Chains A and B, each alone.
Chain A
Amino acid sequence: MLISIASGKGGTGKTTLALILATTCSNTTLVDCDVEEPNCHLFLNPEMQFPSREISIPIPHINTDLCNGCGACSAVCLFNAICISGKSALLFDELCHSCGGCLLACPNNAIYEKSKSIGTINLGRSTKHPQVKLLSGTLKVGTPSAVPLIRQLKQETAKITEDVLVDCPPGTSCSMVSAIKDSDYCILVTEDTPLGRHDLELAMNITSLLNIPTGVVVNKYDQFAGDKSIEDLCNRRDTPLLAKIPHNLSFARQYAAGHIPSDFSETAYQIWEQLKSQRSVT
């Protein structure tokens, strides 16, 4: 079963929940798809099973001997990544989406592709929690798009036979979408504020667009605030509320120190039970 953990708003507790769930199950792989700012390894101390694998994307290069500056390439580039300067084409590789359109358009075979590294993928087993394997990606600093690296991680994930938990990047844009795609179930983690609720609703829009069964975990729950608006939202959207994790300062301190908070195994078992009943449905 492929379970993704996403949120909309950042800092609501995606990584913490993913870690708590991973360490309370007998055999799971945790996939860290927050490749811009991956954090799971800080808590798991994985021992890498293989050297990290470099991930690259194809980027066009211009053979200036063959290019006559006709402009056919720049005419078909909808990302404005190629322009003609003097008698030759000039490439802005940060804008390139590696679609290969310019190669097809060039009448002089003056364009060829070279691979450009965008980051690395690592696979390892946790030394602190040996039942957990970690697959994680790290985007090279300065690379604009995380999507090709996340897609590569998801391809690797598809080969795994045991239960997989995917820790997703925050937000609701293309990185989050490519991280939750093809999940059997998505847990949306929110915090008990209007900000958390607003972004939760945006994230719900994405999971329903992708037809992914969804459940909600409210973190930093304030039992005294008496605010029912997240429960109302879940009811209205027919989305189960899987658990409420109360706000707790010692919990925040454990997390700050790099420890997986230990007082929530009960909550984790509860969530696993609900996930397992979901598995029998799918």
Chain B
Amino acid sequence: MKELVIVSGKGGTGKTSISAALAYLAPRKVLVDCDVDAANFHLISGAKIKKTNEFKAGFEPYIDEKACFKCGQCTVLCRFKAITDGVVTSSLNCEGCGVCAFNCPEHAISMREKQAGHWFISDTRLGCLVHAELGLAIENSGKLVSKVRQEAKKIASDLRLPLIITDGPPGIGCPAIASLSGANLVLAVVEPSVSSMHDLKRLTDLVSHFGLPLLICINKSTLHPENTQEIINWCKNNSILVAGQLPYSDIFSKAAQAGKSVLEMPENAKVKTSLLELWYNLADKLELSVVSRKS
């Protein structure tokens, strides 16, 4: 089983649209949405939730008011300014470290496991999808990312599916790191804008830090041909293969409006051809057979 992870550094470059198109083209696969705090894949794939699961992660302090003598030890020791004299004054600052609980002289504080969100298994038009919803203002997004990836691996191995397509989060921090670790192939989606190109370089540093194989897809390549050429040159100098170039087209936003993948939309021969080429290049790298789905 192989896992392809689609990331971008900068948000909004087309990760979800491209993941959905690849999901349409790949014959046997499981889909994962790792953007757990702003998940969108379920919206363009027509997801029907089959199974909802609670996700618990991290801890929060629970205070026995009768036992608390307001000695102020917790106030002094908490480095996150989250607790004052046995009262959690700023729960958003609390990291759940337990320093207040372990050092309370009256043993008035205990740490309880925290409800941190939900994860789902859904049927979609494009295949089985594992996705999640992080709880409000919760800090354990990396752990939830690891959870959905792990569940998708179980499904893929039970059903003997050869491929997992993972729609990753933006950025290079903990959710991105959790999405990338151990992937078989990383596809970075870049657009020819100075922001996206800047962010790609930082993402590339992260991917090589983890020693993962990386391919690039240039989205909206016709938006700024000079920048597109600069990306191609940069990739060449850094020995990174450009696996696909997708022309700028409003079919992407129209498809999003309609809740569909671009390949389910009529009339967009150029985009379709370039997506097929991208898929063939990826399948080649992943050593998968490229039985394409005829629509």
Q: Which residues of A contact B220 (CB under 8 A)?
A: 252
Taking CB atoms, residues of chain B closer than 8 Å to A169 are 171
The yes or no answer to A147 lying at the interface (CB within 8 A) is: yes
- In the complex, A282→B18 CA distance in Å? 44
| Contact residues in B for A173 (Cβ distance below 8 Å) | 36-37, 134, 137-139, 141, 175
Chain A interfacial residues counted at CB < 8 A: 63
Q: A257 CA to B192 CA in the complex, in Å? A: 8
CA of A37 to CA of B202 in the docked complex: distance in angstroms? 8
What total of A-B pairs shows CB separation below 8 Å? 192
**Are A141 and B98 also in contact (CB < 8 A) when A174-B141, A195-B16 are?**
no
Task: Mark each residue of chain B from 127 to 170: 1 if its CB lies under 8 Å from any CB of chain A, else 0.
Answer: 00000001011110110000000000000000000000000011
Cα–Cα, bound, A202→B36 (Å) = 11
Q: Which residues of A contact B58 (CB under 8 A)?
A: 78
Q: How many chain B residues have a CB neighbour from A under 8 Å?
A: 65
Partner of B172, one of A12, A139, A170, A205: A139
CA distance A33 to B95 in the complex (A): 20
8 Å CB contact of B40 from A139, A195, A227: A195
Interface SS, B side: loop
Q: Which residues of B contact A191 (CB under 8 A)?
A: 12, 253
With a CB–CB cut-off of 8 A, which chain A residues contact B171? 36-37, 146, 169-171, 175
Bound complex: CA A154 to CA B287 (Å): 48
Inter-chain contact B137/A174, CB cutoff 8 Å: yes
Residue B277 CB within 8 A of the other chain: no
A78 and B59 within 8 A (CB): yes
CB distance from B28 to the nearest CB of A (A): 26
CB distance B98 to A145 under 8 Å?
no
The answer to whether B194 and A9 touch across the interface, beta carbons within 8 angstroms, is: no
Question: Given A36, A99, A222, A256, which contacts B97 in the complex, CB threshold below 8 Å?
Answer: A99
List residues of B whose CB falls within 8 A of some A CB. Answer: 8-13, 16, 35-38, 40, 43-44, 58-59, 77, 79-80, 92, 95-99, 102-103, 111, 134, 136-139, 141-142, 169-177, 191-195, 198-199, 202, 205-206, 209, 220, 223-224, 227, 248, 250, 253, 256-257, 259
Can you list 7 A-B contacts (CB < 8 A)?
A9-B38, A171-B175, A173-B141, A174-B138, A193-B257, A206-B136, A252-B220
Q: A199-B40, A220-B253 are in contact. List 19 more A-B contacts (CB 8 A).
A: A9-B11, A10-B38, A36-B176, A39-B195, A76-B98, A76-B102, A100-B77, A104-B102, A141-B172, A142-B209, A170-B170, A173-B141, A173-B175, A174-B139, A194-B257, A194-B259, A210-B92, A225-B257, A256-B193
The 7 closest A-B pairs by CB, nearest first: A11-B12, A10-B11, A99-B97, A258-B194, A36-B171, A256-B193, A174-B139
